[in-house]
Amino acid sequence: MPVTLSHEAPDFERRFDALLDMKRESSADVDATVAGIIEDVATRGLDAVIELTRRFDRWEIDEASLAFTEAEIDAAIATVPAAEMAALELAAERITAYHARQLPEDDMWEDAAGVTLGWRWTPVDAAGLYVPGGLASYPSSVLMNAIPAQVAGVRRIEICAPTPDGRFNPLVLAAARLGGASRVWRIGGAQAIAAMAYGAGPIRPVDKITGPGNAYVAAAKRRVFGRVGIDMIAGPSEILVIADAANDPDWVATDLLSQAEHDESAQSILITTDAAFGAEVARAVDRLLQRLERTAIAGASWRDFGAVVVARDLTQAAELANRIAPEHLELCVANPEHLMGEIRHAGAIFLGRHTPEAIGDYVGGPNHVLPTARSARFSSGLSVLDYMKRTTIARVSPRGLAAIGPAAETLARSESLEAHALSVRCRLDAQEAAE
Amino acid sequence: MPVTLSHEAPDFERRFDALLDMKRESSADVDATVAGIIEDVATRGLDAVIELTRRFDRWEIDEASLAFTEAEIDAAIATVPAAEMAALELAAERITAYHARQLPEDDMWEDAAGVTLGWRWTPVDAAGLYVPGGLASYPSSVLMNAIPAQVAGVRRIEICAPTPDGRFNPLVLAAARLGGASRVWRIGGAQAIAAMAYGAGPIRPVDKITGPGNAYVAAAKRRVFGRVGIDMIAGPSEILVIADAANDPDWVATDLLSQAEHDESAQSILITTDAAFGAEVARAVDRLLQRLERTAIAGASWRDFGAVVVARDLTQAAELANRIAPEHLELCVANPEHLMGEIRHAGAIFLGRHTPEAIGDYVGGPNHVLPTARSARFSSGLSVLDYMKRTTIARVSPRGLAAIGPAAETLARSESLEAHALSVRCRLDAQEAAE
């Protein structure tokens, strides 16, 4: 049974806090294994990668068959049904258009003191994207990771996608090509992360690694962080729907289940101002669960982590949403723009009754890699900025140094950093001598 | 003896790689101790913080004396010499002006398909800044951490600054006030990080923790990451100076020593196109070391990690700089803007002969918290964006859903996510039925 909770309950605050504190992830302790794999790849390179792929993916590769050839990719794409290819192309186009608007601008100006200041954004040289094999091999995630890198101007985009027993998803290769990948390597797991961080045979090291993966991949990303950049480590998916009584309960129920079907640890929460509507949605969820393909997964998620919360009014609903800081937030209310003004923390907001979250997973345009587990309080979804970095720029003229140099000297001496002070003083002295 | 290396040496590449791979940090294994401290504070709250402060800082606090009072801050600021106060105010003003230009813009637009898209930036609710005690208690770092948070619009800025044996630096309190801190707590170490992450007595939890610290503080930040956001874990400081023979060797030598004096693990590298000039700078460094206050620290850094590299020309110098990806890069050449065009990776660039790096530490305006240990390949210095997060926004009209919904449905089915497909389909069916 999902949690059912009304603002009228005397222990509402305590029970809402308990909902926030729910532990949804069992962290398998794979760290020692992963440390060994990374060490092995860092030391022995390609030989280690080949052996580990034989062991974990039951697949024999050598240097020549390590990456898909262009011909193999062509052949795979030729098997993709036309409707799926067209849908993937529409998605790629829309994701590209959205992310192109995120490209940051450089700036440079001179201030009143005669100091030229600015910054410049540059892409990372090379990005590595991890694509899981098996069930979680989502072509949409390939687009969501590769396109921001492509838009950022990353010249080399390496993809690692394991092909256990030789099997692979042709749509993943189609997405890789649409996303501008330089190569797709048939390797996975911690060994793929290590190969991208340290290099292995023909796989040259990258500067930033992104993309979802299992516990081994996540642990490997944590371990190579510092040597390369990584994106966030995503937890199980979540949705919060704020809905008034004017919604169709079936629509809201499918939205809740669209997160629940991802993972038994996913969480779907409805906040409504109408207790009767909440009960109707819960009944609709139960009905839908009887016919859903992934009913076992979605049912377990809804039973263990689902919740229907009845709020006093929309203002209280917004306050509760800010405490949840959800990955996905649907505002299915009459005036969603107004309600959005009260929301401070959410990864992505979907406005109005005709914007199911699934639109954002595929073809909306914004990224579907979003902060989970309340981290929307302090972090953002994946963007073009994740594949770029900013260099700050300063140029001080002799006049500028005369204006601001003495203050730097004073502060350096107050911090007992004499050489700092001297580096300013020697230039000021030379100016004064020249006058 | 610092490394001396010429592009003409037959083993240049190997030796340059060795320079890049130098291990400068000994990572003290404090993780188990830190885990215990965090657990203690998370469980027992303020009591644990009081006990740990007694033990580590030899200082007795209770709930009432946990934070500096406004009167105590006033009294401390009154003891700051006028010149230092004026210098700090100039620094605060210039840092504020620079960071104000980093404030990102929100955006919202409707595209041809009838889909409204956009994003919105919001500040984190609360930021916690760590300020080390003792020697490394730098008021400039307080400004560099607090001001971006203040500019971002963070409403609550908590500072933790230990006062071992009761001692504190009045300039730190002055900087805290200039930076808009809500409170300054007299606690430090892993217990301060835990208190900011979990809350302890009157210390309410924050959403993001930034600021430098020793090995215990760094380990604690790593451990609370996920529950709160953190900034990068900074390594020892570095400078790379690219200088032609037209520079005053003494100026360049002070710039190299201004990093070396920070820390025995700091690294200062000169790349020059003129071997004789390189030798002159090395002699100037030796001369300066004889009179420098922090000669033991600066001398050890220069001896163990310093380097003078002679490059064929400025193009090779820029290539080597990109491989180093330095935290600080001075371009002391005739046309620094031109050379900057060849630089892809650097935390901060200082252009021309009159821009010593120390200007950037205090009064330039850009942030002095910058990526170390080659991480400028993939990350940026501290900025206003570190205290904000972006929420993506989508609103699909019925017409928009008719245009892009079928593609989402197709992709969802191809990924075997039926509820995703249904959440789109039920709305499309309703539209079709209504027509």
**What CATH number was assigned to the domain covering residues A235-380?**
3.40.50.1980
Residue B169 vs residue A1, higher pLDDT: B169
The beta strands (E) that lie in A333-427 are given as 348-351, 388-396
Cite the beta strand spans of A75-151 per DSSP E: 107-110, 115-123, 126-130
Do the domains spanning B3-24+235-365 and B31-74+102-107+122-230 agree at the CATH topology level? yes
Query: pLDDT tens digits for B311-356?
Result: 999 999 999 999 999 999 999 999 999 999 999 999 999 999 999 9
- A250 labelled as ligand-binding? no
Q: How far is CA B57 from the centre of its chain?
A: 26
The reply to whether residue A407 touches residue B86, judged by beta carbons under 8 angstroms, is yes
Domain B3-24+235-365 is found in CATH 3.40.50.1980: yes
Check whether B122 has a pLDDT greater than 90.
Answer: yes
- Clarify whether B105 is annotated catalytic: no
Residues of A in contact with B111 (CB under 8 A): 94, 97, 365
Instruction: Return the exposure string of A145-178: e unless at least 16 CB atoms fall within 10 Å of the residue's CB, then b.
Output: bbbbbbbbebebbbbbbbbbeeebbbbbbbbbbb
pLDDT at residue A131, rounded to an integer: 94
Residues 6+ apart with CB under 8 A from B95: B143, B144, B147, B365, B367
User: How much is the pLDDT for B26?
Assistant: 67
pLDDT at residue A234, as a whole number: 81
Chain A residues in contact with B248 by the CB 8 A cut-off are 426, 430
pLDDT tens for B198-226 read 999 999 999 999 999 999 999 999 899 98
Radius of gyration of the CA atoms of chain A, in A: 26
CB distance B246 to B285 below 8 Å:
no
Query: Which ipTM score applies to this complex?
Result: 0.96
Angstrom distance (rounded) from CA B233 to CA A238: 29
A237 marked ligand binding residue: yes
Nearest CA in chain B to A414: B84
* Interval B396-410 mean pLDDT: 97
pLDDT tens readout for residues A125-171: 999 999 998 766 899 999 999 999 999 999 999 999 999 999 999 99
Nearest chain A Cα distance for residue B314, angstroms: 19
CATH code of the domain made up of A31-103+124-230: 3.40.50.1980
Nearest Cα residue in chain B from A86 = B407
Q: How many CB pairs under 8 A join A and B?
A: 364
Instruction: Determine whether A368 is an active site residue.
Output: no
Structure confidence at residue B31 (pLDDT): 86
pLDDT at A26: 67
How close does chain B come to A312, measured CA to CA in Å?
24
Residue range A294-350, pLDDT digits in tens: 999 999 999 999 999 999 999 999 999 999 999 999 999 999 999 999 999 999 999
Cβ neighbours of A100 in B, within 8 Å: none
- The minimal CB distance from A424 to the residues B292, B358, B397 is found for B358
The per-residue pLDDT for A299 is 97
A119 bridge partner residues: A107, A392
Considering only CB atoms, B419 lies closest to which of A258, A353, A426, namely A258
Is pLDDT above 70 for A28? Answer: no
Residues of A in contact with B208 (CB under 8 A): 378
Furthest-apart CA atoms within chain A: distance in Å: 89
Task: Scan for tokens 């966030």, then name that residue.
Answer: A232
**Sign of the alpha-carbon dihedral angle for A70, A76, A79, A80:** negative
Beta-carbon separation of B294 and A357 below 8 A: no
Q: Of A264, A280, A327, A330, which one is the catalytic site residue?
A: A327
Which of A418, A425, A429 to mutate to probe the B interface, most B CBs <10 Å?
Answer: A418
Measure A289 CA to nearest chain B CA, in Å.
10
Interface test with A, best of B389, B409, B413 (most A CBs within 10 A): B389
Q: Model confidence over A66-89: pLDDT tens digits? A: 999 999 999 999 999 999 999 999
Contact B111 A117 (CB under 8 A): no
pLDDT above 70: residue B116: yes
CB distance B401–A354 less than 8 Å? yes
- For residue A421, give Cα distances in angstroms to B153, B254, B359: 33, 9, 9
3-state secondary structure (DSSP) of residue A391: strand
Pairing of strands B126-130, A348-351: unpaired
Domains of chain A, residue spans: 31-103+124-230, 235-380, 397-434
pLDDT in tens, B45-74: 999 999 999 999 999 999 999 999 999 999
Interface test with A, best of B415, B416, B425, B432 (most A CBs within 10 A): B415
B158, B238, B327, B330: which is the annotated catalytic residue? B327
Band (pLDDT 50/70/90 cuts) for residue B233 is confident
From B238, B328, B330, B357, active-site residue? B328
Measuring CA to CA, how many Å separate A24 from each of A250, A265, A267? 26, 5, 8
Q: How far apart are CA B85 and CA B8, in angstroms?
A: 51
pLDDT, residue B29, reads 80
* Alpha-carbon distance values, A287 to A5, A89, A243, A283, A291 (Å): 21, 35, 19, 6, 8
Catalytic residue among A328, A330, A357, A368: A328
Residue B136 burial by Cβ neighbours in a 10 Å radius (0-12, 13-18, 19+)? middle
What dotted CATH number matches B31-74+102-107+122-230?
A: 3.40.50.1980
Q: What's the rounded mean pLDDT across residues B401-415? A: 97
Amino acid at B27: S
- Transcribe B104-131 into DSSP letters: PPPEEEE-TTSEEEEEEEEE-SEEEEE-
Whether pLDDT at B28 is above 80: no
Nearest of B384, B327, B211 to residue A391 by alpha carbon: B327
Query: What pLDDT score was predicted for residue A38?
Result: 97
Q: For position B353, what pLDDT does the model report? A: 97
CA-based nearest residue to A55, from A69, A42, A39, A37: A37
A191 labeled binding residue? yes
The yes-or-no verdict on residue B135 having pLDDT over 70 is no
- Backbone dihedral angles phi then psi of residue B271, each to the nearest 5 degrees: -115, 125
Calculate how close chain A gets to B418, using CA atoms only, in Å: 7
